[in-house]
Structure 1
């Protein structure tokens, strides 16, 4: 969610020039897909921050503030931001290759870990904090409004804001023309491949130390937020038109103002806001801000942002979903293989848009214990392993993907299964120790 934090967050400088409905449609349609040959790649890695020696003890806000103050003095190639619950996010700059992206973020993570270790803290990769209940760290009007908005649908929103972490992979939208690397195919592939990525990288089976019955509890919470805020559009027809309709018909999170708390309307869509002009006419800046308050599993921001992958355990676990996604989107042969592998799954996703359908729910609950998801995942990972050398990936990255394929995918397992095994089988022995490292 770091992209949502802008200079206007502390106060709206101007509200001029009301946007019309036709103008809003043109603006959204014009910026959501910037087509052309796929050239760049990016990744956003979110991390939980735990005590280094006693990870089941919560980190105090004062400790987090001191750590982030120290990190702000460290020169990084990636953008460093803080999430509402104190999670740390590194967002890479657009990279010309997978190797460049991995190199930049790895160096930044090394620097961040060194500073945190000096503060007695560490980074932990998991889709949901396994031990601690959600608690707000950031006190800003944006997050006050978001919390009020999400609370209307239950506690899932607070879990998403304050206790979840992910690996978000950003790929170019693709060619305007049809074909394996065309933007229409890539948009469809992102949504149909999404459940396979959820299942292969599920890592969040615990809340407050207890199994939830879901391998990706993080994905469950996203679905519980509701389709208006965290859902995607229909995949029928033109992607630009579908996304534009979705944006204008999505509920407004807040109406910002200079002073005092921001107004949080209930059920007011952006289209309704334009038509009514109340409590004040919306502007282009309001539309831009509205776009940052929508959290679909695939978000078009000129490029495609894939948001469905749980954060991964281990210092370098994030590299595997980045490499797999890059291979399946940017290598034509692998992309065609992935398209054919996930096409049979599409029938299970016909009832409702992602992630509010049976396929996404099965991926979050059962992960690769689902036979069809497992079969598709094996094919996709094998294609990725074959494609990575063609994309210039080194042996270390290719080997990491191959190891994930052998250790998890072929066996119908995911990182969540390791955590569940260790909790169930070694609970007495590991009590009070960090079983995530």
Structure 2
């Protein structure tokens, strides 16, 4: 086995983090809390969730993961409590605090992506209802409850140990937050879908996505002063893995350095041994001999999965800054992101609306002043509201040019009329309910 060096590690990253090619595929990951339907403030026994999920029908069998060559580190473990695929192809995952996530398979059309995930979401909703449970779409759990890890996988135990060194934020993130993530292709080497342009636009779009879809004004049952408390949580965690890389240079080279300079969160070891990593150890230092053993390419690939920048390149681009939405609310960010990134005319209109807000160079997202305004003020900020309305308008026109996109276009239009047009975001609904003495997060609507 050839030893991994800084040079070979950078070459490896340059080849796998951004897959170059015309944008053709779309994916979405939607996450929810699971609450008791009658008493949402009570803790839910994990056994009830497990029993409900066990009744879900299976879909196609996922492909096997090939074993590594002899002498390499053990294969990456699958995500905890990961089920076989559901009938429409979504993968269901249980998260550390009991949240559930549906991840769509890549689809050649955003409308098909949406239809498939809607089918599997309906099955999930029905299965949970048999146990008196409901899906709750919000960026932070609004109810005061103990943040208890429900999964004992060594990955999450190591994460807990790592984040506990610097305060409560990592534990809050793992057990008390939920999101929507939209996945789009990285782009081409040049032309209207150039990787560098899509990378920059995805970051420029970040404050609009934070503000428009802000849906986490509460923590431990109380208002935090932020409409997206989830963004506040991410901004206070380990900066080596939550900030964006430099946006002033080639995305591939900048991200390769970012990966190597991030602290190692866990070191995989044989069964029964903890995966805790030494405090302060970066992957670059590990390559230079600071670890207990030489790292492998498999270690590097696993290390990449423990990094959480606002836009994470995984071959494709994974936009991670969107709060979880109630019900089928994930349709609106899916529509907005895919329309603006994949339609060249809409992309140009979005850049024209976003550039006056300032490109997030120097201080990197999510710790720029603009991102803080988005998380705190959301669309009560006049500049963000103007940019948001322009982006929604450009996306609406793009969806009008795309055959078969009527459902996504309707979802986007309905959201725009309810929130951006009125200077509001979903967090304002929670705050209104709290002031009225009602449950801040209502039952997930069904259709």
TM-score for the superposition, normalised by structure 1: 0.92
Distance in structure 2 (CA, Å) of the matches to 1:110 and 1:72: 12
* 2:400 match: secondary structure: helix
Give 1:151 shift: 1.1
Give runs of aligned pairs for residues 90-129 of structure 1, distance below 5 A: 90-129=102-141
Q: Which residue of 2 aligns with 1:420?
A: 431
Q: Which moved more, 1:153-162 or 1:388-397?
A: 388-397
Q: Which residue of 2 aligns with 1:6?
A: none
Tell me: CA distance 1:79–1:40, structure 2 relative to 1, closer, same or farther (3 Å). Answer: same
Residue 21 of structure 2 is matched in structure 1 by 36
1:410 aligned counterpart, secondary structure: helix
Residue number in structure 1 paired with 2:205: 193
Tell me, yes or no, if the aligned pair for 1:40 and 1:171 is still in contact at 8 Å. Answer: yes
Task: Tell me, yes or no, if the aligned pair for 2:161 and 2:276 is still in contact at 8 Å.
Answer: no
Instruction: Give the match for residue 318 of structure 2.
Output: 305
What is the 5 A alignment of 1:339-358? 339-347=351-359, 349-358=360-369
Alignment-derived partner of residue 257 in structure 1: 269
Partners in 2 of 1:309 and 1:145 — Cα distance?
26
Quote the Cα distance in structure 1 between the aligned partners of 2:213 and 2:336.
11
Measure the CA separation in 2 of the matches of 1:379 and 1:209. 34
Aligned length: 416
| Equivalent residues in 2 for 1:257-336, closer than 5 Å | 257-258=269-270, 259-313=272-326, 315-336=327-348
**Cα offset, 1:434, TM superposition:** 4.1
- Counterpart pick for 2:387 among 372, 376, 383: 376
Structure 2: gaps spanning 5 or more residues: 60-85
Report how far residue 433 of structure 1 moved: 8.6
Q: How far does the alpha carbon of each residue in 1:28-69 deviate from its partner, in whole angstroms, 9 at most, with x for none? A: 111111111111100001111111121111111222222233
Residue of structure 1 in register with 2:74 after alignment: none
Q: 1:267 to 1:307 in 2, by over 3 A?
A: same
Is the CA contact (8 Å cut-off) linking 2:245 and 2:364 kept in structure 1? yes
Counterpart pick for 1:247 among 259, 262, 276:
259
How far is the alpha carbon of 1:435 from its aligned partner? 6.9
Distance 2:414 2:349 in 1: 20
- Cα distance change on mapping 1:113 and 1:195 into 2, 3 Å: same
1 CA distance for matches of 2:152 and 2:165?
Answer: 19
CA distance in 1 between counterparts of 2:125 and 2:41 reads 19
Task: Verify: 1:411 aligned to 2:422, yes or no.
Answer: yes
The reply on whether 1:60 has 2:45 as its aligned counterpart is: yes
* SS of residue in 2 equivalent to 1:105: helix
Match of 1:359 in 2: 370
TM-score, reference length from structure 2: 0.90
Residues in 2 aligned to 1:80 and 1:261: alpha-carbon distance in whole angstroms: 26
CA contact (8 A) 2:163 2:170 kept: yes
Deviations, residues 299-332 of structure 1 (Å, cap 9, x unaligned): 011110000000112x211100000111001111
Tell me if structure 1 keeps the 8 A contact 2:143–2:219.
Answer: yes
Alpha-carbon distance in structure 1 between the residues aligned to 2:33 and 2:99: 5
CA distance in 2, matches of 1:209, 1:252: 34
Question: Distance in 2 between the 1:436 and 1:169 partners?
Answer: 21
State whether residues 153 and 224 of structure 1, in contact with CA within 8 Å, keep that contact through their aligned partners in structure 2: no
Higher helix share: 1
The 1-side partners of 2:224 and 2:57 are apart by 36
The CA distance in 2 between the partners of 1:371 and 1:279, in whole Å, is 53
Q: Give the alignment's Cα RMSD to 1 decimal.
A: 1.6
Q: 1:161 aligns with which of 174, 191, 200?
A: 174
Superposition deviation, residue 399 in structure 1: 1.8
Aligned pair in 2 of structure 1 residues 374, 160: CA closer, same or farther (>3 Å)? same
Aligned partner of residue 204 in structure 1, secondary structure: coil
